[in-house]
């Protein structure tokens, strides 16, 4: 969506006064669901960190590898919270390629992301197997009730819960919310998380990360990066699968198409994003 796109499409409560993470991320990935306020902001982020666009792709590639991993372990139901604007390699598409009967519910709190997901699923989805809803990650009961209410997911069978590149937009209540989701997930489920971090990143990049955090203070989605130890606690007592918590380029880079990831293999910490996948025993 660009500024001159069909006005009928415009969701009513979209905030165009400030840039928003969903739309800036869409711009970084080369999408069109963004407005001038998001693009100008994105340009500034890229000026601060010339790797920002590749970094967004690295995150997307991690998402794809993690989804394929879960399907290979026999888990074919996905709850993708903070799913974003649909783009290359959406969860249901990646999962369907490996398991054509896979199921996915998308959740986001940004109206443009939800509207675009609805259109995509109306055109290319299967209403029995795919759904999208608007919800705030912190409203655990509400999100869970709505997600299970779609009838797409069976709460008695393992579910892969994805919270990819979303928890760093939540300062207060993130740990409590994730702990509650961990409780709700049935045994055999997986938790997939990626998150901006600064521990051990090259010194010149630390300054960039700090500037980007400052820049995002102006957006409707301020960023709050976390260190490795704090990030690891999101997985609680779930069993982290190999290689454990890792910089995204280090998380099973050989599995799947990983063009952007390969650019970071010499210096994975430069991705500034940690990831992990863990199983509920
Ligand atoms: C950087 S995008 C990540 C999209 C996708 N998960 C990925 O990794 O490619 C972050 C998304 O999280 C969403 N988000 C931020 N805070 C949220 C919240 N409290 N509840 C639900 N979604 C949220 C944003 O609207 C945005 O779409």
pLDDT by residue, tens only, the chain of 281 residues: 444 344 446 777 888 899 999 999 999 999 999 999 999 999 999 999 999 999 999 999 999 999 999 999 999 999 999 999 999 899 999 999 999 999 999 999 999 999 999 999 999 999 999 999 999 999 999 999 999 999 999 999 999 999 999 999 999 999 999 999 999 999 999 999 999 999 888 888 899 999 999 999 999 999 999 999 999 999 999 999 999 999 999 999 986 668 899 999 999 999 999 999 999 99
Whole-number pLDDT of residue 256: 64
Whole-number pLDDT of residue 138: 98
Whole-number pLDDT of residue 88: 87
Q: Which of 84, 175, 180, 248 for a ligand 1 pocket mutation test, highest count of atoms within 8 Å of Cβ?
A: 84
CA of 265 to the centre of ligand 1 (A): 26
Whole-number pLDDT of residue 4: 37
Whole-number pLDDT of residue 15: 87
Q: Which of 38, 82, 275 for a ligand 1 pocket mutation test, highest count of atoms within 8 Å of Cβ?
A: 82
Report the atom number in ligand 1 closest to the C-alpha of 25: 1
CA of 84 to the centre of ligand 1 (A): 5
Count the alpha carbons within 13 Å of 232 in the hemisphere toward its beta carbon: 12
Whole-number pLDDT of residue 3: 47
- Topology given in CATH for the domain delimited by 7-279: Rossmann fold (3.40.50)
Sign of CA pseudo-dihedral 133, 193, 191, 73: positive
Q: Which residues line ligand 1 (CB under 6 A)?
A: 21-22, 25, 59-60, 63, 81-84, 108-110, 113, 136-138, 164-166, 169-170, 221
Cα 140 to its chain centre, rounded Å, is 17
CA of 177 to the centre of ligand 1 (A): 15
Q: What is the DSSP letter of 200?
A: T
d(CA 161, CA 107): 11
Q: Nearest 5°: phi and psi at 51? A: -90, 5
Q: Domain residue spans in the chain?
A: 7-279
User: Which tokens in the block code for residue 113?
Assistant: 């992301």
């Amino acid at each position: 969506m660009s500024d001159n796109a069909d006005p009928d499409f415009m969701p009513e409560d979209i905030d165009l006064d400030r840039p928003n993470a969903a739309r800036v991320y869409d711009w970084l990935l080369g999408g069109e669901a963004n407005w001038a306020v998001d693009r100008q902001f994105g340009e500034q982020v890229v000026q601060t960190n010339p790797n920002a666009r590749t970094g967004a792709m690295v995150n997307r590639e991690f998402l794809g590898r993690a989804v394929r991993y879960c399907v290979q372990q026999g888990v074919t139901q996905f709850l993708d919270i903070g799913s974003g604007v649909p783009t290359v390699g959406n969860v249901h598409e990646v999962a369907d390629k490996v398991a054509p009967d896979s199921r996915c519910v998308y959740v986001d709190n940004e109206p443009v992301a939800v509207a675009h997901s609805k259109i995509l699923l109306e055109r290319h989805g299967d209403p029995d197997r795919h759904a999208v809803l608007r919800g705030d990650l912190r409203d655990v009961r509400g999100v869970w009730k709505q997600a299970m209410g779609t009838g797409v997911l069976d709460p008695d069978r393992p579910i892969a819960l994805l919270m990819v590149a979303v928890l760093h937009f939540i300062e207060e209540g993130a740990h409590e919310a994730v702990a509650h989701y961990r409780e709700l997930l049935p045994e055999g489920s997986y938790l997939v998380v990626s998150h901006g971090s600064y521990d051990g990143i090259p010194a010149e990049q630390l300054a960039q990360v700090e500037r980007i955090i400052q820049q995002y203070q102006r957006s409707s989605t301020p960023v709050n990066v976390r260190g490795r130890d704090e990030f690891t606690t999101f997985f609680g007592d779930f069993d982290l699968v190999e290689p454990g918590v890792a910089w995204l380029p280090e998380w099973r880079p050989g599995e799947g198409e990983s063009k952007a990831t390969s650019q970071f293999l010499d210096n994975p910490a430069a991705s500034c994003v940690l990831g992990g996948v863990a199983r509920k025993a």
